[in-house]
Chain A
Amino acid sequence: MSGWANTLIQGVLLGGLYALFAAGLSVIFGVMRLVNLAHGDLIVLAAFVILTLTTALGLDPWTATLVALPILFAVGYALQFVLLNRTLGHDLLPPLLVTFGLSIVIENGLLQVFSADSRRLDAGPIETSSLALGHGVAVGVVPLLTLVSAVAVILLLNLLFYRTRLGRAFRATSDDAEMAALMGIDHRRTFAAAMGVALVVVAIAALYLGMRANFDPTAGPGRLLYAFEAVIIGGIGSFWGTLAGGVVIGVAQTVGARINPEWQILAGHLAFLVVLVLRPRGFFPRAVD
């Protein structure tokens, strides 16, 4: 009994990590309708930025992430303003091709600079500490912090999108960029700000990616797939949906692994397919699309 409870709890905690991977993608997809194939590589890039800050400045990963946040906002803003805005239009293909290319460029750039070695962010003793919940169930502190951070990120994104001037500009531009321009909104700068916000979320995801597992320059595409599945399970445009989507994949993976360790990855993808069949628009689709 406590075995299954443990499996579910570990699954939910793992879901927090997938939700973090997906939250940035959800912003990009929700505002720009941009399918960002480089999202996984951007997470890995952010992890290397944090790693470099820890080694170059002697910072711990948490402080390094705080330093990395404004850097990644600027990177995202510039990336959208200079490159990705040019790909947006009625044709879906240019953004796909450009972000696919960007993915390859980032991966090979990282290989050049950092080699193919596996790296890790060293967070010290917190990595192995855990909390006993009784009944033989214990949760790791880092996985717990991952889930707490995911919930906090989702809360803050909702506040940003529904309670601020910038957030309403995001939503209006997402609905109809042409009309938004007529209302005085410069959609190019709005999109750039949205990408900046997305990369801030990416930096937070990268912190937990790097603390929980080894990463190397080729780790991006795998993260991308989980992120996409979480966004689609949740419903495009809903941040709480993205969190739920991450949790669905996380729980499916731990349950699958408990039945047969080889089924972990497969079970996550199967859960995605099942949701796609039963709820093609996800759990929390937008009112109007």
Chain B
Amino acid sequence: MPPTSASVPPPVGQAATPPLLQIRGLSKAFGSVVAADGIDLDVGKGEALGIIGPNGAGKTTLFSLIAGSIQPDRGTIRLGGRDLAHLPQHARCAAGIGRTHQIPHPFANLTVFENLLVAAVHGSGRSERDAADFCAGILATTSLLPQANRLSGSLPLLARKRLELARALATGPELLLLDETAGGLTEAECGALVETIAAIRAGGVTVIWIEHVVHALLAVVERLIVLDFGKKIAEGKPRAVMASPEVRAIYMGIAAGAAEGSA
């Protein structure tokens, strides 16, 4: 069941508590290519935020900056008020940031269960014993139990995608960054994924989701931002954003059919 907007946390700016994630003036250029250009963004605790934008707009770069695999040229990122600038990638995981990649990268020579166990023990600081139960639960919610003891390098694509999500969950994230998780899935698989992500949210995890499959995204998120050339060009209620002329011109010119179908 998709979540309704009744449970939406207070909008940004008027919340008494600071936002979980606070980004200010974040910029990153690769040579002459500007991947992030002064991005400001607040994400409240428990919120689900969607990010759309054409290819090369800087969506994945934004995730890399948040997760710490690349360093910004300028700007700050705070998680729960704490500046992440000097926190290396593994410490950001421990601080509560979980991330999935568009192309799954499982630990190929570990079994599916061991993949989760590594994430749970090192990412969420659980003991081996606690982690085993915790991981079994995640395997069940992500429908991976039948493959638990398979080497993850031998999994088909759908199972790899599930594993990518399951492993990120096993790190016990407060903030989950999902990068095109629905890409390449069938309608039925996509529906199952939407339910899974809605359940993750219901468990109190804050979600930021980059997705080209707009109808899946709109079933989960209550706020949408649009990136183009590293800039935030639109932000607001998903349907209002999708209907705005800038988005239609810049983004939906590429995928007009998808927009009409879901809007």
Contacts and interface: CB of A to CB of B under 8 A. Distances in A.
A171 B110 contact: yes
Main secondary structure of the interface of B (DSSP, over half): helix
Contacts of A71: none
A185 to B, nearest CB: 5
A168 B108 CA distance: 12
Contacts of A237: 109
Interface stretch (B88-96, B136-144, B184-192): B88-96
Contact of A182 (B99, B108, B128): B99
A58 to B, nearest CB: 42
Contacts of B88: 181, 186
Nearest to A179: B105
Contact of B93 (A172, A183, A187, A286): A183
| Listed residue (A176, A182, A287, A288) with the most chain B CB atoms within 10 angstroms of its CB | A182
A168 B109 contact: no
Nearest to B127: A165
| Listed residue (B88, B110, B114, B167) with the most chain A CB atoms within 10 angstroms of its CB | B110
Contact of B153 (A183, A184, A288): A288
A184 B94 CA distance: 6
Interface in A172-212: 172, 174-176, 178-187
B67 interface: yes
Given A168-B114, A169-B118, A183-B118, A175 B107 contact: yes
A178 B69 CA distance: 8
B151 to A, nearest CB: 5
B122 interface: yes
A165 B128 contact: yes
Contacts of A180: 90, 107, 118, 122
Interface of B: 67, 69, 88-91, 93-94, 99, 105, 107-110, 114-115, 117-119, 121-125, 128, 151, 153-154, 167, 171
Interface of A: 165, 168-169, 171-172, 174-176, 178-187, 237, 286-288
23 contacts: A168-B110, A168-B114, A168-B117, A168-B118, A168-B121, A172-B107, A172-B114, A172-B118, A176-B108, A178-B69, A180-B107, A181-B93, A182-B69, A182-B89, A182-B93, A183-B122, A183-B171, A184-B90, A184-B94, A184-B125, A185-B90, A287-B151, A287-B153
